[in-house]
Chains A and B, each alone.
Chain A
Amino acid sequence: MLKADFLKTAWPEPGKRIWIGKEVNRIDGVAKASGRAKYTYDINRPNMLWGKFLICPHAHARIKRIDTSQAEAIPGVRKVEIVQGEGSEIVFHGDEIALVVADSEELAVDGVRAIKVEYEVLDHVVDETNLDQIPRGNRRPGGRRRTGNVDEAFASPEVVTIEGQYGIPMITHCCLESHGVVAEWTGDDELTVWISTQNVSGISGQLANALKIPAGNIRTICHFIGGGFGSKFGPDRWGILAAKIARELNRPVKIMLDRDHELLSAGTRPSGFARVKLGVDRKTKKVVAWESTLWGTGGPGGGGTSISVTPYIFTRIPNQRREAYNVRANVGPRRAWRAPNHPQGAALTMTALADAAAALGVDELQFFLNNVDLTDRPDVYTQELLIAADLIEWRKHWHPRGESGSGPLVEGLGISMHTWGGRPHNSQALVHIYPDGSVDVQLGSQDLGTGTRTVIAIVVAETLGLKPEQITVQIGDSRYPPSGASGGSTTVGGVSSSTRRAAVDALEQLFEKVAPSLGVEPTDLVARNGRILSKSKPDLSVSWKRACRTIGMEPITGQGRQPDPEDQPLASQGVGGVQMAHVVVDKDTGVVRIKRFVAVQDCGLIIDLKTAKSQVYGGVIMGIAYALYEECVHDPITGRRLNPNMEFYKLPGIGDVGEIIAHMMVGKVTVTAPDGRKITIDYDEPGVIGLGEPPVISPGAAISNAVANAIGVRVPRLPLTPDRVLAALAGKGGLA
């Protein structure tokens, strides 16, 4: 490979960007909307078998006896595999007991029903809401931290003390495409798996260990995925079992979890509850002390919300004392859920701060502005708070807490703030330019619906002077160069960096081929609008297609990687974000409606403004979902999950989300701070930063604060269902 280095990889200057930062339609939109896109669930292979699991109906039990004989006797049932046999202790409702593989989905269901299991039901813990009532053995310390001197701070006559208790329950991912896999052996030790995954390049290695074949012999395919949100990184039990049984029976095996199974077993977001005590200086209205006891559960393994997020963002409060407990409970095990720990942190911190503002009689916006220097990015938050306040018309609609008129319909405003990292993950990319002028790009990445495919196409198109639709993007296959898993908002930085470098590398090679035919140096060339042009002789140019004819027989291959120690960084990490909610609450029914929701978000250099905004809308709507509707409900008597279905595991519909305004911070932004200082920030300057997580963090807190502002009392825990709103209004469990 020729290794020339005369082109810069740096992103083009603002005025020179053709596609980057514009609103570009997603390139796979038609395939998805027209039903032509094939997801794992849609893969039908010749002679394929179906697998279904028998799951445990108890929260905690020991298996005394399993009888599979009747299942095995059903014609068409090919295999009954015991997953957890006699004597096993099952620690949550929904864990897998046995798998039936049969000729059809219906027969597999018959097989599951025919299995007889005798359980010894054991004691369970499914309610973690009251720390003092959790059995000692189920509580483990989750850390202690101290800064400054809290006791002295609280004792000071200058300090006003505010106390509260807040909570955010366990929820689940509810990916509309449930978890699952199709496994097909193409040779004795060669396997293809179609799997609904966020981790195309990482599945083969994990499966290889379990199957004892070389990882390189396993091809992982996921062209489209119907949601992951952090719950789809591994092959899981079903992936391994599908592959093993497919090998044994020499037929492809498909396992897609049923909805109840998926909701019970395939991941939860840990709950978080906290008792918080805040000290605020009477005169300066600055928070000077924070004390908190935090607890929560991430299932049978413990693992609640991390102590690192209480307090959230306002980490520079000078005096702090905090402790945390992890509760082991007989509920579905945790998995990463979009922005792990942060939504809990916001729901436990921003609420306490708003209560402090209300107690002091300070406008909530003023209070947050006044305390931004307790965060790591005061200037960003100041700008975003002021812009969000304009968009929600804060001045027009704000009133002190509870002073919202006498009718049953009351309105309120609330604020929350957040942060996220979003560093670029490792990624490799290949860009091919073919003699016929066609271009493709290959990465072992995946598009979760965030717009990854489109971003990759835009970066190549921008670099080569072509249009995004001229670029064939090949992802979703482990045969392409490895790229990181899509989690933690790391994808866009990773793939845009590796792709940019690969495209620049390919373009340099093309310039070297074309230059002699134009009689100029390669360094004199640029690619723009489907042509290769000379910089020194403006009328000297050749069309892209013609230029590519000089390539010869073999295509040009450009290579790019992230990180690249020989190149400048193209992506970075660290964002802010401010959200404000305007709600209407019906005090007679307790129903909360969103009137307007404003999300102001920075995320470095935006590649596709259209899909970036969609990330924000989507994050906000998922946030409205857990603020108002979502919760895993457990029966205290039996320990069973009561709502492993979509009738009662509530998600908002299209009419439930109100007006949403997404405002992206792009380019140079200047805002005058309340103290008259002019703050200017160039948001593009750090390069590309991930965006998937941040917008989902704040809605719970912002909406809770808005409801408190409307009805005059705090509804202490999410979701803000009508019964909880009414209870708070009746003085039960409310906090004035």
Chain B
Amino acid sequence: MAEKQRGRASDRLRSGISRRDFLRGSGALAAATALRTATEAAAAPAGAASVVGPGPVPVTLTVNGQTHRLKLEPRVTLLDALRNHLDLTGAKKVCDRGTCGACTVLLDGAPVYACSVLAIDAQGHKIETVEALSPDHPMIQAFVDHDGLQCGFCTPGFVMAAVAFARQNPECSEEDVCRGLSGNICRCGTYVGIREAVVEAARKMRGAANA
């Protein structure tokens, strides 16, 4: 999915207010994010008002190329399904409400906050988690080379957001990275290394197979 297209899609909430407008209005300093939100992902099948739950229902998730059949309560988020039911703990739970990006995974190639997507709504989509990346993936290597991590708790989320960003922006500058990754928060203060890492990895990823 093209970066522009993704930005537009993510800006529209069901309410008709764009997320960007909303953030501007609320004076948020950590700029708008290019990540898709729960509301948007959940908004998909308009008019299909079938009621499921509240007890566990069958849920089929395609994660990193593998199909998993689970029984989950409809309220279970994609993040909790990954972490608590599939033991894929690379995506972290930090704020659990779409502000920090630590839970970032890719849904059909686009970054989403997994804490803000219901597992049932992620069915039928291609889900990629950090575990899908080989440890020698250029983005991971660049984070290590530029020391873009300390405690590492925000890092997998940053890496996934950065991979999606870099696939679309191979020629990005540090300034672009600041905009593209503004939906992720690091408490240890690793931004200096991350800015350098993403610029470098984006160039390396172009042409690299499986990046």
Contact = CB atoms under 8 A, between A and B. Distances in A.
A44 B185 CA distance: 25
A676 interface: no
Nearest to A618: B189
Contacts of A610: 147
A37 B153 CA distance: 9
B145 A25 contact: yes
Contact of B147 (A104, A611, A652, A657): A611
B151 A226 contact: yes
Nearest to B134: A34
Interface string A103-118: 0111000000000000
Contacts of A540: none
Given A621-B189, A651-B185, A656-B30, 10 more contacts: A34-B131, A36-B90, A42-B92, A106-B76, A176-B94, A449-B151, A614-B147, A654-B195, A655-B179, A657-B192
B90 A259 contact: no
A176 B187 contact: yes
Main secondary structure of the interface of B (DSSP, over half): loop
A224 interface: yes
Contact of B95 (A225, A591, A646): A646
B182 interface: yes
B152 A37 contact: yes
Interface string B151-194: 11111100100000000000000000111011111111111111
23 contacts: A26-B144, A30-B141, A32-B156, A33-B152, A35-B131, A35-B159, A38-B89, A44-B83, A106-B73, A106-B76, A176-B92, A177-B94, A226-B92, A226-B152, A449-B150, A449-B152, A449-B188, A645-B95, A646-B99, A654-B181, A654-B182, A654-B191, A656-B30
B30 A259 contact: no
A25 B144 contact: yes
B187 A617 contact: no
A225 B151 contact: yes
Nearest to B141: A30
Interface in A1-52: 25-26, 28-30, 32-39, 41-42, 44
Contacts of B31: 653, 655
Interface residues of B, number: 65
Contacts of B80: 105-106
B90 A34 contact: yes
Given A44-B84, A645-B97, A176 B151 contact: yes
Given A646-B185, A654-B194, A259 B95 contact: yes
Interface string A244-267: 000000000000101100000000
Given A654-B194, A657-B191, A30 B152 contact: no
B26 to A, nearest CB: 9
Given A35-B130, A36-B135, A651-B187, A176 B182 contact: no
A227 B192 contact: no
B149 interface: yes
Contacts of A722: 27
Contacts of A25: 144-145, 147
Interface in B116-143: 129-131, 133, 135-137, 140-141, 143
Q: Nearest 10 pairs between A and B by C-beta?
A: A35-B90, A621-B189, A32-B152, A226-B153, A449-B151, A655-B178, A449-B150, A618-B189, A29-B144, A42-B89
A54 interface: no
A33 B144 contact: yes
Contacts of A259: 94-97
Nearest to A654: B191
Interface in A620-677: 620-622, 625, 629, 645-647, 650-657, 660
Interface of B: 27-31, 73, 75-76, 80, 83-84, 87, 89-97, 99-100, 102, 129-131, 133, 135-137, 140-141, 143-145, 147-156, 159, 177-179, 181-195
Nearest to A454: B147
Contacts of A162: none
A622 B29 contact: no
A646 B100 contact: yes
Contacts of A131: none
Given A621-B191, A654-B181, A660-B192, A34 B94 contact: no
Contacts of A451: 150
Nearest to B95: A646
Which among B93, B129, B148, B154 has the greatest number of chain A C-beta atoms within 10 A?
B93
B143 A29 contact: yes
A448 interface: yes
Contacts of A622: 187-189
Given A44-B89, A258-B96, A646-B99, A32 B187 contact: no
Which among B84, B151, B192 has the greatest number of chain A C-beta atoms within 10 A?
B151
B87 A44 contact: yes
A705 to B, nearest CB: 21
Contacts of A613: 147
A382 interface: no
A619 B178 CA distance: 19
Interface string A443-461: 0000011110000000000
Contact of B30 (A26, A617, A652): A652
A585 interface: no
A645 B182 contact: no
A689 interface: no
A207 interface: no
B30 A614 contact: no
Contacts of A178: 94
Contact of A227 (B28, B145, B182, B188): B188
A326 B92 CA distance: 38
B151 A227 contact: yes
B29 A617 contact: no
Which among B76, B87, B187, B195 has the greatest number of chain A C-beta atoms within 10 A?
B187
Nearest to B153: A226
A224 B188 CA distance: 14
Nearest to B93: A41
A417 interface: no
Contact of B92 (A36, A41, A620): A41
Nearest to A174: B187
Nearest to A659: B192
Contact of B135 (A26, A30, A41, A229): A30
B2 to A, nearest CB: 22
A175 interface: yes
A32 B30 contact: no
B156 A33 contact: yes
A175 B187 contact: yes
A651 B29 CA distance: 9
A224 to B, nearest CB: 7
Interface string A694-723: 000000000000000000000000000010
Contacts of B133: 34
A37 B144 CA distance: 14
Nearest to A107: B73
A367 to B, nearest CB: 29
A660 B196 CA distance: 13
A450 B150 contact: yes
Contacts of B91: 35
Nearest to A28: B152
A227 B153 contact: yes
A621 to B, nearest CB: 3
Contact of B193 (A177, A229, A614, A650): A614
Given A25-B144, A34-B90, A44-B87, A654 B177 contact: yes
A176 B189 contact: no
A540 to B, nearest CB: 38
A625 B185 CA distance: 11
Given A35-B91, A610-B147, A611-B147, A655 B189 contact: no
